[in-house]
């Protein structure tokens, strides 16, 4: 089908009506997940088996097949969801395919492939009955099983680009900005900074040339929700970006993401091309007079390039060294022009805020953190995967109701948030709510949203050593305190884990963590000591046990 | 190495100094490493200094200034892989290949790499060979997997 450029909002709505008229909601659809984890479990073979089976029986008229982005329940991949009814099949193998096809045609369920409660054996057939899903509020990720990320029509069929239409036809740029400000949308990338204020700074900057950027770098270890979002539903992120550019008055956008995920690159490239063909990007979008070009850029393998000023240097084609931010990047960013950068999840929130309004958005979440949050749940957890819950949800819900607790029947020792610059808190604090400010106060800031469970066997000194080892390899080396301070902390921590601790090592670590934080330009160095600080706050005895007691004639290698 | 493809990439970006990283990524993907004479030709074509090309090529981890083996073996060192036994997996892979991270064997069979995080944490620990993911790997399974790559 050749695509036609849409010249007005009315033409878009006509197209949407035609797409919907061509679809029968009662026709069964089998959606095979091709998210990162399912793909790693060879979901491609499952999808191929479905295609072969439908071809063999010539079922094209009676059955729809769809390859989609991440459904969420990565632990039990390859995932298959059958609609209507959202019947969830887990750990599907190619050999299961004929049975699923036969049952689907008869309106039946393949009992052996649905979820069964590990304790009682009771089955859960539909998505809203599966424990992993039923405690979630899937506003952002929920469309993933309904969309083939390569097909813009699938996004239009679930109401996609309606928010853009509303913004361009019914709202002025100022009204769009005001809506986002009133929604109190806070940046999902780690800082929790109000997106509306950031937009306003760029909008009000005197330079006429302005840029908008999607930060899809996702360098935080054990964070994979942004990839799930951007790979699985690229148009939602793009729609948010276009609306933001309209509010800010930007003429050019950049998507900055990972180079090492072939599917991510393919989907984003395709989404940009399709949006352009439909006239949702380019000159005079939907006849509104507003124009925007968006290009794709890649990180090439260093964590610090996720830092905003470093990321912008990288887009310019330079080495990603952060710069001092006496002047914010929202005022002087790429090529010294005002550049508004938000993370994937932040942009993905924009369309629903415009469609449903700030009042609706602020009705979800906690007092100061609104909306939902995507969480990558992994570590020693039973049910790992991509989770979406309202802000303010108790951590206990995430860990036990959704996560199913700790693997192998062990007990929970700690949870860790925020990757290598985050923090660990003990299991006793599990009733704390998921909230930007509250979690920061506890010493485990949410960061981008990577949540790890650590079981009773976890050696907290070794965890700190591991995180420091990661960061020393990722420092760009510009600031000496970061480059050298972390190296010294790593050496000291390594000594402790190898049983060669010395008197004064803990004090030395505390000093180094403090000085490295004070003497570094960007968040990598500034927060490099944060995991260690949380360890000293909650797990100090474990560290003290590594220092040989002089009186007892310890065997540590002392000066 | 496919000279024609590399030449096509260099030509595509001729006269565009801002496209240095794009060009390097494409050449790296095509050729798996960046030979010095290619970098010199790229510098001339884009109109940037050779030292600037080297700054970028030596800074980013994706770029390799030395030839790689026929198969790129990657052991994920992300946090979940770490918590779920990546150290033992890596030790086994090091033993089988005789390599440490970053090294290539004399027969150019394997290049061993570590790095975080590939985002498929649910199937940790992970071994990736030439882009193909092998999830929930035990050290013994890793031995079987690597045997398939000659």
CATH number for position A465:
1.20.1440.230
Same domain, A381 and A269: no
- Determine the pLDDT at residue A316: 85
Choosing from A362, A396, A426, the residue where a domain stops is A362
Among chain A residues, the shortest Cα distance to B129 is held by: A40
The pTM of the full predicted model, rounded to 2 decimals, is 0.93
Q: Mind listing the pLDDT tens digit for each residue in B74-107? A: 999 999 999 999 999 999 999 999 999 989 999 9
Q: What is the CATH number for A45?
A: 3.40.30.10
Distance from CA of B98 to the nearest CA of A (A): 23
CB contact under 8 A, B117 and A222: yes
Both tokens of residue A414? Answer: 């700690």
Same domain, A497 and A518: yes
Q: What is the CATH number for A446?
A: 3.10.20.600
Choosing from A456, A482, A515, the residue where a domain stops is A456
Architecture of the structural domain at B3-59: Orthogonal Bundle (1.10)
Q: Is A15 part of any domain?
A: no
Beta bridge partners of B128: B74, B133
Q: Where are the domains of chain B?
A: 3-59, 71-147
- Determine the pLDDT at residue A2: 53
Same domain, A243 and A282: yes
- Determine the pLDDT at residue A302: 66
Architecture of the structural domain at B71-147: 3-Layer(aba) Sandwich (3.40)
Best CA proximity match to A167, nearest among A267, A278, A290, A274: A290
CB contact under 8 A, A317 and B115: no
- Determine the pLDDT at residue B37: 95
Best CA proximity match to A342, nearest among A441, A435, A243: A243
Beta bridge partners of A216: A257
CB contact under 8 A, B25 and A416: no
Among chain A residues, the shortest Cα distance to B54 is held by: A319
Beta bridge partners of A123: A116
Q: Is A20 part of any domain?
A: no
Same domain, A112 and A223: no
d(CA A367, CA A350): 19
CB contact under 8 A, B123 and A318: no
- Given a contact cutoff of 8 angstroms between Cβ atoms, the answer to whether A185 and A228 are in contact is no
According to DSSP, the β-strands at A372-379 and A450-455 are: parallel
Same domain, A208 and A349: yes
Distance, CA of A361 to chain centre: 19
Both tokens of residue A449? Answer: 């949203």
Chain A residues with CB-CB distance to B34 below 8 A: none
- Given a contact cutoff of 8 angstroms between Cβ atoms, the answer to whether A330 and A198 are in contact is yes
Same domain, A307 and A440: no
Chain A residues with CB-CB distance to B133 below 8 A: 39-40
State the best of B119, B137, B141 to mutate against chain A, taking most chain A CBs within 10 Å.
B119
- Determine the pLDDT at residue B115: 85
Same domain, A474 and A423: no
Residue from the list B20, B117, B120 with its beta carbon closest to the beta carbon of A37:
B120
Chain B residues with CB-CB distance to A403 below 8 A: none
Same domain, A412 and A538: no
Q: Is A141 part of any domain?
A: no
Among chain B residues, the shortest Cα distance to A296 is held by: B22
CB contact under 8 A, A301 and B62: yes
Same domain, A496 and A438: no
CB contact under 8 A, A40 and B120: yes
The CA distances from residue A432 to A392, A444, B71, in Å, are 8, 11, 47
Tens digit of each residue's pLDDT, chain A (559 residues)? 456 899 999 999 999 999 999 999 999 999 999 999 999 999 999 999 999 999 999 998 999 999 999 999 999 999 999 999 999 999 999 999 999 999 999 999 999 999 999 999 999 999 999 999 999 999 999 999 999 999 999 999 999 999 999 999 999 999 999 999 999 999 998 889 999 999 999 999 999 999 999 999 888 888 999 999 999 999 999 999 999 999 999 999 999 998 888 899 999 999 999 999 999 999 999 999 999 999 999 877 666 666 788 888 888 877 777 777 778 889 999 999 999 999 999 999 999 999 999 999 999 999 999 999 999 999 999 999 999 999 999 999 999 999 999 999 999 999 999 888 899 999 999 999 999 999 999 999 998 999 999 999 999 999 999 999 989 988 888 899 999 999 999 999 999 999 999 999 999 999 999 999 999 988 889 999 999 999 999 999 999 999 987 545 444 444 4
CB contact under 8 A, A36 and B61: no
Among chain A residues, the shortest Cα distance to B116 is held by: A221
CB contact under 8 A, B60 and A223: no
Same domain, A322 and A223: yes
Cα A111-A112-A115 angle, rounded to 5 deg? 85
Q: Is A125 part of any domain?
A: yes
Q: Is A392 part of any domain?
A: yes
Count chain A–chain B contacts defined by CB atoms under 8 A.
Answer: 115
Beta bridge partners of A132: none
> Which residue did the predictor score with more confidence, B56 or A170?
A170
- Determine the pLDDT at residue A305: 65
CB contact under 8 A, B62 and A259: yes
Chain B residues with CB-CB distance to A218 below 8 A: 119
Chain A residues with CB-CB distance to B78 below 8 A: 221-222
* Parent domain of A237: 160-362
- Determine the pLDDT at residue A404: 97
d(CA A48, CA A78): 13
Choosing from A456, A481, A506, the residue where a domain stops is A456
Distance from CA of A218 to the nearest CA of B (A): 9
CB contact under 8 A, A384 and B80: yes
Distance from CA of A74 to the nearest CA of B (A): 6
Contacts of A262 (CB under 8 A, 6+ apart): B131
Distance from CA of B61 to the nearest CA of A (A): 5
Among chain A residues, the shortest Cα distance to B58 is held by: A319
Tally the domains of chain A.
Answer: 4
Alpha helices in A414-529 (DSSP H): 436-442, 460-474, 480-497, 505-518, 523-526
CB contact under 8 A, A378 and B118: no
- Determine the pLDDT at residue B1: 53
d(CA B52, CA A169): 47
- Determine the pLDDT at residue A303: 66
d(CA A405, CA A384): 10
Same domain, A324 and A403: no
Chain B residues with CB-CB distance to A302 below 8 A: 59-61
CB contact under 8 A, A36 and B118: yes
Q: Is A272 part of any domain?
A: yes
- Determine the pLDDT at residue A505: 96
d(CA A458, CA A407): 13
Beta bridge partners of A415: A425, A453
| Coil vs helix vs strand at A117 | coil
CB contact under 8 A, B123 and A319: no
Q: DSSP 3-state helix, strand, coil percentages of chain B (rounded to 5)?
A: 50, 15, 35
Alpha helices in B60-105 (DSSP H): 79-83, 86-97
Q: What is the CATH number for A195?
A: 3.40.50.11540
- Given a contact cutoff of 8 angstroms between Cβ atoms, the answer to whether A468 and A433 are in contact is no
d(CA B92, CA B101): 12
Same domain, A36 and A114: yes
Radius of gyration in angstroms for the set of CA atoms belonging to chain A, rounded to a whole number: 25
ipTM: 0.88
DSSP sequence for A311-369: HHHHHHTS-------SS-TTTS-GGGS-EEEEEHHHHHHHHHHHHH-HHHHHTSB-SSS
Which residue's entry shows tokens 């000093």?
Answer: A511
User: Is B33 exposed, middle or buried (CB count within 10 Å of its CB: 0-12, 13-18, 19+)?
Assistant: middle
Omega cis (within 30) before A532? no
Largest distance between two CA atoms of chain B: 51
Query: Which backbone phi and psi does A455 adopt, to 5 degrees?
Result: -85, 180
Both tokens of residue B92? Answer: 């086994």
d(CA A480, CA A478): 6
DSSP sequence for A9-35: HHHHHHHHHHHHHT--TTS-EEEEE-S
d(CA A548, CA A555): 7
């Amino acid at each position: 089908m050749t695509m036609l450029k849409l010249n007005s909002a009315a033409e878009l709505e006509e197209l949407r009506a035609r797409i919907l008229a061509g679809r029968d909601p009662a026709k069964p659809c089998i959606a095979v997940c091709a998210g990162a984890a399912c793909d790693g479990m060879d979901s491609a073979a499952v999808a191929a088996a479905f295609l072969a089976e439908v071809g063999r029986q010539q079922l094209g008229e009676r059955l729809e097949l769809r390859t989609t982005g991440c459904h969420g329940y990565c632990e039990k991949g390859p995932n298959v969801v059958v609609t209507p009814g959202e019947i969830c099949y887990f750990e599907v193998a190619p050999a299961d395919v004929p049975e699923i096809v036969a049952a689907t045609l008869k309106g039946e369920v393949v009992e052996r492939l649905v979820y069964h409660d590990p304790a009682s054996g009771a089955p859960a057939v539909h998505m809203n009955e599966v424990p992993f899903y039923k405690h979630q509020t899937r506003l952002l990720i929920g469309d993933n099983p309904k969309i083939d990320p390569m097909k813009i029509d699938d996004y239009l069929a679930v109401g996609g680009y309606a928010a853009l239409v509303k913004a361009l036809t019914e709202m002025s740029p100022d009204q769009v900005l005001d809506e986002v400000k009133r929604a109190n949308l806070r940046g999902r990338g780690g800082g929790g900074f109000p997106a509306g204020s950031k937009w306003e700074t760029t909008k009000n900057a005197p330079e006429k040339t302005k840029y908008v950027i999607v930060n899809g770098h996702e360098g935080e270890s054990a964070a994979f929700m942004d990839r799930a979002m951007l790979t699985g539903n690229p148009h939602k992120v793009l729609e948010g970006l276009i609306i933001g550019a309209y509010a800010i008055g930007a003429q050019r956008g950049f998507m900055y993401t990972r180079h090492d995920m072939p599917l991510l690159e393919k989907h984003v490239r395709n989404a940009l091309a399709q949006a352009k063909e439909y006239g949702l990007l380019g000159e005079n979008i939907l006849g509104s007079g507003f124009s925007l070009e968006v290009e794709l850029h890649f990180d090439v393998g260093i964590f610090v390039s996720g830092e905003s000023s470093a990321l912008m240097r990288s887009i310019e084609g330079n080495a990603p060294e952060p710069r001092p931010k006496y002047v914010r990047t929202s005022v002087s960013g790429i090529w010294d022009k005002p550049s508004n950068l938000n993370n994937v999840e932040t942009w993905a929130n924009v369309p629903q805020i415009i469609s449903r309004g700030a009042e609706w958005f602020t009705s979800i979440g906690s007092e100061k953190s609104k909306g939902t949050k995507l969480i990558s749940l992994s570590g020693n957890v039973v049910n790992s995967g991509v989770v979406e819950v309202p802000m303010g949800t108790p951590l206990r819900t995430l860990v036990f109701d959704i996560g199913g607790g700790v693997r192998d029947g062990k007990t929970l020792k700690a949870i860790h948030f925020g990757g290598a610059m985050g923090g660990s808190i003990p299991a006793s604090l599990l009733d704390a709510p998921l909230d930007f400010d509250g979690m920061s106060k506890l010493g485990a800031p949410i960061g981008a949203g990577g949540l790890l469970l650590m079981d009773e066997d976890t050696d907290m000194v070794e965890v700190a050593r591991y995180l420091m080892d990661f960061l020393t390899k990722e420092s760009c080396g510009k600031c000496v305190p970061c480059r050298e301070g972390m190296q010294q902390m790593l050496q000291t921590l390594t000594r402790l884990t190898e049983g060669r601790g010395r008197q004064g090592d803990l004090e030395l670590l505390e000093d180094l963590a403090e000085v490295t934080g004070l003497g570094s330009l960007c968040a990598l160095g500034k927060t490099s000591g944060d995991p260690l600080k949380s360890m000293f706050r909650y797990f100090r005895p474990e560290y003290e046990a590594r220092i040989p007691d002089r009186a007892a004639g310890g065997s540590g290698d002392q000066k | 190495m496919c000279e024609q493809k590399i030449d096509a990439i260099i030509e595509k970006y001729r006269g565009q100094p801002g496209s240095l990283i794009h060009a390097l990524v494409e050449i790296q993907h095509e050729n798996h490493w960046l030979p010095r004479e290619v970098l010199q030709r790229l510098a001339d074509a884009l109109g940037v200094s050779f030292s600037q090309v080297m700054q970028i090529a030596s800074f980013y981890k994706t770029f390799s200034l030395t030839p790689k083996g026929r198969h790129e073996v990657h052991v994920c060192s992300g946090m979940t892989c770490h918590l779920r036994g990546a150290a033992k997996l890596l030790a086994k892979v090091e033993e089988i290949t005789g390599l440490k991270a970053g090294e290539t064997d004399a027969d150019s069979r394997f290049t061993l790499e570590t790095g975080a995080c590939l985002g498929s944490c649910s199937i940790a620990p992970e071994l990736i060979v030439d882009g193909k993911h092998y999830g929930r790997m035990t050290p013994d399974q890793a031995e079987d997997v690597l045997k398939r790559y000659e």
